[in-house]
A and B are shown apart, each in its own frame.
Chain A
Amino acid sequence: MVEESTKIDNIDLKETALAVKNLSKIYDSSAGRVVALDNLSFSVKKGEFVSIAGPSGSGKSTLLNMVGALDRPTSGHVYINGIDIFALNDSMIATMRNNLIGFIFQSFNLINRTTVLKNVKLPGTISGMSPSDANARAMKILEALGIADKATQKPVNLSGGQQQRVAIARALVNNPAIVLADEPTGNLDTKTGEDVFDMLKTLSHKFKRTIIMVTHNPELAESTDRSILIRDGRIEKDVVN
């Protein structure tokens, strides 16, 4: 890993889980030049629950892809726990994603042929955690999320809410610096969506997890600690709720 920075533009990176600095993403294609992200800068404190909202095509998903290091920006920097993630090579980025980022996807993205337990411990398995440690850790999180009894079942046999809990458990198993949730309630009914959202809120407030959630639901966005509204690739509003 590269050396951790401590301060950028007067932001204390020791207290900051995520810092985005002058981030731009421009797509050049035969159809023309599209500026998906236009010189974005913001930071997220450790333990903060931040929502990124905006209309379709505003750039919120592109931003999440950049923060999750799934794509490289045209320019700018992203710091997670003080590490400039795009200064890393692809292999180091993969390791960084495994260690520092937990992903929660709208459609859960679980491996349905294998058990809930194997799904949850997968990031631990990838990081080289011993099977017994990975099992113990996965079971502990499943218990905390109230689905330990589903450990041996296959995700496909669970309800949508239960599957999203499994995905949340998977996101937490490596104790990441930030959890990135892309429309985590988008595939759930209202009640289940609220339950999942409450769970994320609890994780943030009670267990001091840093969560960045992309949503197009204004009510959910207002229920987080802070809402960043994106429009045309720029931050339109950054509101503490």
Chain B
Amino acid sequence: MNPSDIFSLAYDALVDRKIRTILTVLMVVLGASLVVVINGLSAGQSAFLEKQLSSLATNVIYATSGQRSYYGGASSQSSLILNSVIINKLRALPYVTDVVPQYSGSVTIDSYGNVQRVSVVGMDPNKLTVMLPNLQYVDGSTLSPNDRSAAVVGDTIANPPGATTPFVTVGQTLKITYSYTDSAGKSQQEVRNFLVTGIMKPSGNTRIDNALVINPDAANQLLRKSGRYDSLLIQTTDDTYVNTVQQEITDIYGKNIGLTVPQAFLQVRQQTAQGNAMFVEMIGFIALVVGAVGIVTTLYNSVTERIREIGTMKAIGAQNSSILALFLVEAALIGIMGATLGLAIGVVGGYAMTSFPSHTGGAGGPGGFGPGGGSISSFPPIFLPQDLIKVWLLSVSLAVGAGIFPAWKASKLSPMVALRRE
């Protein structure tokens, strides 16, 4: 039989059992799209973390009071108060070139009636480059470290994703509201106006892009910190001394101080993300295998139902190989349709998932400019052609593989036995 005849017969057979074919194709679609979405998001996340890594200084240690996990939460153990005494002591350590104190919190900002909840960091804006050596500002920006009413705004605050007009521009006044509970348990608000003197260009660091930087004294007052810093950026001579300095600080303060090297943190995050992606990818693969089992079931049923047809075809001269090919082509068609649709849905689904609005505000807390996280929308998916081809081939191969057993059964049927079946 010619390949085109086999294709035509296989296609007719699938069309004849539309609903079953569609359901089987859907199984493959589900598996393929799941793998595509996971691949895309994983690649996007990797690229995102890579960007974060490359944007960060390599000679910085991030310190908080008490032990701090890689995932950001400070422990309840916070016996060490980060104040000027500690800062001076750290500055005196060998290989430490600078210590930048930070206050941090979460505030509401109001610009012409538009409101955002954002992180606020009180620090010398000139020292932002300690953390991000390549940080740049939009034209017209000026940094006024001693001006208690000046604010520098991150790119995501100034230009919220999806917005057609900027939230704030240089020279504009922002109303900042800090809400807290006083010692009597009453809710209180501290409201102050700040002048936006600078806007940062996209830095590649989510936390910084989502933050507002103000003068440390102003932050101390606004956030009611009483001179207790939330975190310190410790700059070493170069990255080769990071571990040495980290060890020195640990020797002095033990578990009373939490130290994180942002680069190491992000690397661990990246490894964790890769591990998670592999795990979820396994789930996708299992979904594909389930789809393959569906194909086995569908084709096996099809062989049983078409047993007389197979018998007739063999009686009139069809070779075993033609019957085998017929069912394998049916399996391949299911695989091709499922894989192709799965790829399309996976790509669209990946973008759809990342188009949900992200939660950019309120990320401050005690962490300040620590190594940032990022919501799912921070990682635009990346669909590499080679990954898509790999998933497509895997789906089609699994489908054809699943078709082998039913096809083999059909090809080995005795025509006499098949013709006798009702």
A contacts, CB < 8 Å to B:
65, 68, 70-71, 90-91, 94-99, 102-103, 105, 109, 111, 113-114, 118, 122-123, 125-128, 131, 170, 174
Minimum C-beta distance from B149 to chain A (A):
80
Whether the Cβ atoms of A126 and B322 lie closer than 8 Å is: yes
Residues 293-314 of B, flagged 1 when their CB comes within 8 A of A and 0 if not, give: 0000000000000001101111
Whether the Cβ atoms of A71 and B317 lie closer than 8 Å is: no
Contacts of A90 in B (CB 8 A): 320
Can you list 23 A-B pairs with a CB-CB distance of less than 8 A?
A68-B315, A70-B315, A71-B416, A91-B319, A94-B314, A94-B319, A98-B317, A99-B317, A102-B316, A105-B419, A109-B311, A109-B312, A109-B315, A113-B12, A114-B9, A114-B12, A122-B313, A123-B316, A125-B1, A125-B5, A126-B317, A126-B322, A131-B2
B interface bracket (residues with beta carbon within 8 Å of A): 20 to 34
Whether the Cβ atoms of A105 and B312 lie closer than 8 Å is: yes
Task: Give Cα distance in the complex from A109 to B314, angstroms.
Answer: 12
Nearest residue, chain B, Cβ from A103: B315
Is B394 positioned at the interface, with any CB of A under 8 Å from its CB? no
Is B337 positioned at the interface, with any CB of A under 8 Å from its CB? no
Residues 1-41 of B, flagged 1 when their CB comes within 8 A of A and 0 if not, give: 11011000100110110000000000000000000000000
Whether the Cβ atoms of B318 and A126 lie closer than 8 Å is: yes
Task: Give Cα distance in the complex from A96 to B415, angstroms.
Answer: 14
The answer, among A113, A114, A170, for a CB contact under 8 Å with B316, is A170
Minimum C-beta distance from A61 to chain B (A):
9
Nearest residue, chain A, Cβ from B8: A118
Residues 379-422 of B, flagged 1 when their CB comes within 8 A of A and 0 if not, give: 00000000000000000000000000000000000111001000
Whether the Cβ atoms of B419 and A70 lie closer than 8 Å is: yes
Contacts of B419 in A (CB 8 A): 70, 105, 109
A125 with B315: in contact, given A111-B309, A113-B12 (CB under 8 Å)?
Answer: no
Contacts of B13 in A (CB 8 A): 113
Closest 3 A-B residue pairs measured CB to CB? A98-B317, A113-B16, A70-B416
Q: Interface SS of chain B: helix, strand, loop or mixed? A: helix
Task: Give Cα distance in the complex from A170 to B415, angstroms.
Answer: 17
Task: Give Cα distance in the complex from A194 to B13, angstroms.
Answer: 34
Contacts of B313 in A (CB 8 A): 122, 126
Whether the Cβ atoms of A126 and B1 lie closer than 8 Å is: yes
Nearest residue, chain B, Cβ from A109: B312
Minimum C-beta distance from B18 to chain A (A):
11
Whether the Cβ atoms of A128 and B416 lie closer than 8 Å is: no
- Among residues 316 to 365 in chain B, which have CB atoms less than 8 Å away from a CB atom of chain A? 316-320, 322
Whether the Cβ atoms of A95 and B309 lie closer than 8 Å is: no
Nearest residue, chain A, Cβ from B6: A125
Contacts of A94 in B (CB 8 A): 314, 317-320
Task: Give Cα distance in the complex from A113 to B11, angstroms.
Answer: 11
Minimum C-beta distance from A182 to chain B (A):
9
The answer, among A65, A118, A174, for a CB contact under 8 Å with B416, is A65
Minimum C-beta distance from A195 to chain B (A):
23
Contacts of B319 in A (CB 8 A): 91, 94-95, 126
Task: Give Cα distance in the complex from A177 to B313, angstroms.
Answer: 18
Task: Give Cα distance in the complex from A103 to B322, angstroms.
Answer: 19
Whether the Cβ atoms of A123 and B1 lie closer than 8 Å is: no
Minimum C-beta distance from B388 to chain A (A):
34
Minimum C-beta distance from A119 to chain B (A):
10
Minimum C-beta distance from A79 to chain B (A):
18
Minimum C-beta distance from B30 to chain A (A):
27
Task: Give Cα distance in the complex from A96 to B314, angstroms.
Answer: 11
Minimum C-beta distance from A157 to chain B (A):
14
Whether the Cβ atoms of A70 and B1 lie closer than 8 Å is: no
Whether the Cβ atoms of B317 and A127 lie closer than 8 Å is: yes
Whether the Cβ atoms of A70 and B415 lie closer than 8 Å is: yes
Nearest residue, chain B, Cβ from A90: B320
Task: Give Cα distance in the complex from A111 to B326, angstroms.
Answer: 14
Task: Give Cα distance in the complex from A105 to B311, angstroms.
Answer: 11
Nearest residue, chain B, Cβ from A134: B5
Whether the Cβ atoms of A125 and B12 lie closer than 8 Å is: no
Minimum C-beta distance from B313 to chain A (A):
7
Known: A96-B317, A103-B312, A126-B316. 19 other contacts (CB 8 A): A68-B315, A70-B414, A70-B416, A94-B314, A95-B317, A99-B317, A105-B312, A109-B309, A109-B419, A113-B15, A114-B12, A122-B313, A123-B316, A125-B1, A125-B2, A125-B5, A126-B319, A127-B317, A128-B2
Nearest residue, chain B, Cβ from A127: B317
Minimum C-beta distance from A194 to chain B (A):
25
A123 with B309: in contact, given A65-B416, A113-B12, A128-B1 (CB under 8 Å)?
Answer: no
Report which residue of B2, B322, B416 has the largest number of chain A beta carbons within 10 angstroms of its beta carbon: B416
Report which residue of B1, B12, B314, B318 has the largest number of chain A beta carbons within 10 angstroms of its beta carbon: B318
Report which residue of B15, B317, B416 has the largest number of chain A beta carbons within 10 angstroms of its beta carbon: B317
Contacts of A114 in B (CB 8 A): 9, 12
Task: Give Cα distance in the complex from A113 to B320, angstroms.
Answer: 22
Contacts of B9 in A (CB 8 A): 114
Contacts of B308 in A (CB 8 A): 109
Task: Give Cα distance in the complex from A201 to B9, angstroms.
Answer: 33
Task: Give Cα distance in the complex from A105 to B313, angstroms.
Answer: 12
Task: Give Cα distance in the complex from A114 to B11, angstroms.
Answer: 11
Task: Give Cα distance in the complex from A118 to B313, angstroms.
Answer: 13
Contacts of B312 in A (CB 8 A): 103, 105, 109, 111
Minimum C-beta distance from B318 to chain A (A):
5
Nearest residue, chain A, Cβ from B318: A126
